[in-house]
Structure 1
Amino acid sequence: MAWEIARPSRASALHGVDMAGFRIHGDGPAQLRAIPHPAVTVVVEFGDRCFDVRDSEGRSHSGSLALGLGSSPSPVRVEAIECVQVRLSPTTASAILGFPHAELSGKLVGLEDIWGRDALRLRERLHESRSWPERFARVDTMLSARLREDHRVDPEIAWAWHQITLSRGRLRVEHLAARVGWSRQRLWSRFTAQIGLTPKRAAMLVRFDHAVHRLVLGHPPAQVAADSGYADQSHLYRDVRDFTGTPLTSATGEPWLAVDDRAWPSSTKR
């Protein structure tokens, strides 16, 4: 398949928002996987919609959609797609999507079900746009217009998420709870309700994301396992299979991971 990838020339005006543009086409349908990533993903489609994604319950979705933090890959059947993909920090997602992020955890939801006619109007405007910079600007304007301060996560939860990402998933829940002055149970409960994953599972996802991108770049598995805080290579292999549904040798060739250094360069600098 041929992949055209575009990046904005400047960062979004909103904190915790990153965007990339995709135009994918080929001679026939291709089976891909959307690999779990430590961000809420919003896809705004504006082409012929020759693709579909299956959720964890086997239901098929096509068109613009939102995907919450998850623990398993989503099969994607692609013939052709044109879209702007947005990655939202889970500390920002609720304020932009307009409802608790936990309700989206591990699920695929049509963007029209979340934004109503705004989603349709945005799709039409992207379709009419003549360039990627114009499309990125339109998406950024929509995200800014929908931002609701009253849906932001607790400052303690935002801090805990930041520490998890900063440590690349190597902090223990007890340490985080002690730093914010909460009990382990309270942090576990509030974090899960607002982020959509338990603190432990969120840390596992962040650690996996860091490790798998190093593997894609060709780093030796033994070194990646040691540097990423895994007990041994077997532990790393289990996590890769858990999150990708394939063994390590296959996972490192997954197209969505292989293009990350072009689509999301800031997140693949290891």
Structure 2
Amino acid sequence: MAAFVRGIEGEGPARDGPAAGRDASVTARDAVLPDGCMDLLWTRGRLLVAGPDTRPHIPDGVPGGWAGVRFYPGTAPAYLGVPADELRDRRVELTELWPAAEVRRLTARIDAAADPVAALEELALRRAAEAGPPDPLLGEVVAALDAGRPVAETADRLGLGARRLHRRSLAAFGYGPKTLARVLRLQRALALARDGVPFAETALRAGFADQAHLARDVRELAGAPLGELVGHR
């Protein structure tokens, strides 16, 4: 189960937070970018869920620290008990998905923990064990698309028709396989560019037709030129 989730933490804004007003200093480099993942987030007194993104999300300021557990693509719906497409581009209170009394109890436990990230990971792993392992086919979909395989080839190789793959992708990832492929390609490009790979070579290695294609896709999905995003993690 250790590969099912990973912990995240920080002192600044998370993927969402209390309506404390947006910090004027927040820029496109501070945006949360589409990555195919979903997050379970904690700020003191609250548990929230960040659904899968199709556009950049500029977070509100969060007073104090925050902690979160990030679910790899396709794994969160079984844990949360809700299809991913119902949470696409949304941030919701966990009380909208789970019984309020249970969420209050869990929130109080994490509030009192010395290490909120560890407490969240313990919660996630325990609930994940109860839910059972994610469908291994979903991991194969992610691996194939992240390797740059075409959607039609992926569907054929896995023995799924295009419509069936689309339906399963909506429920698991929050969007269809073509959008997931674009999101994963964006993340490949960002990783290459942040490692200092020239943009033209980044476009080629990440699977874009050319540098102009890279620039268009990055601006559409990330809301800013690649040059503004390099250096932000």
- CA distance in 2 between partners of 1:154 and 1:125 (Å): 30
Q: Does 1:70 align with 2:68?
A: no
Q: Does 1:18 align with 2:24?
A: no
- CA distance in 2 between partners of 1:190 and 1:24 (Å): 35
* Higher mean displacement: 135-144 or 242-251: 135-144
- CA distance in 2 between partners of 1:72 and 1:242 (Å): 8
**What SS does the aligned partner of 1:37 have?**
coil
* Higher mean displacement: 75-84 or 238-247: 75-84
Extract structure 1 runs of 4+ deviating beyond 6 A.
none
- CA distance in 2 between partners of 1:153 and 1:190 (Å): 13
- Cα offset for 1:46? 2.2
- CA distance in 1 between partners of 2:112 and 2:206 (Å): 45
Number of aligned residues: 219
Residues 167-206 of structure 1 correspond to what in structure 2 (within 5 A)? 167=147, 170-206=148-184
**Runs of 5+ in structure 1 lacking a partner?**
1-12, 48-62, 261-270
Relative to structure 1, the CA distance from residue 69 to residue 96 in structure 2 (aligned partners, 3 Å threshold; closer, same or farther) is: same
Residues 44-193 of structure 1 correspond to what in structure 2 (within 5 A)? 44-46=42-44, 63-78=46-61, 80-115=63-98, 116-130=100-114, 132=115, 135-147=116-128, 148-149=130-131, 154-165=135-146, 167=147, 170-193=148-171
Match in the other structure for 1:240: 218
Q: Percent identity?
A: 27
Relative to structure 1, the CA distance from residue 154 to residue 123 in structure 2 (aligned partners, 3 Å threshold; closer, same or farther) is: closer
Match in the other structure for 1:7: none
**What SS does the aligned partner of 2:69 have?**
strand
Amino acid at match of 1:217: D
**What SS does the aligned partner of 1:85 have?**
strand
- Cα offset for 1:178? 1.4
Amino acid at match of 1:44: W
Q: Does 1:207 align with 2:185?
A: yes
Match in the other structure for 1:35: 33
Amino acid at match of 2:131: E
8 Å CA contact retained: 1:240, 1:251: no
8 Å CA contact retained: 1:153, 1:194: no
Q: Give the TM-score of the pair, scaled to structure 1.
A: 0.72
- CA distance in 2 between partners of 1:81 and 1:238 (Å): 36
- Cα offset for 1:200? 0.8
8 Å CA contact retained: 1:102, 1:193: yes
- CA distance in 2 between partners of 1:191 and 1:201 (Å): 10
Match in the other structure for 1:53: none
Match in the other structure for 1:217: 195
Q: Give the TM-score of the pair, scaled to structure 2.
A: 0.82
Which structure dedicates a bigger proportion of its chain to strand? 1
- CA distance in 1 between partners of 2:150 and 2:138 (Å): 14
Show CA shifts across 1:139-177 (max 9, x none): 122113333537x66543342123223x1xx11111111
- CA distance in 2 between partners of 1:202 and 1:80 (Å): 33
- Cα offset for 1:138? 1.7
Higher relative contact order (CA 8 A, sep 6+): 2
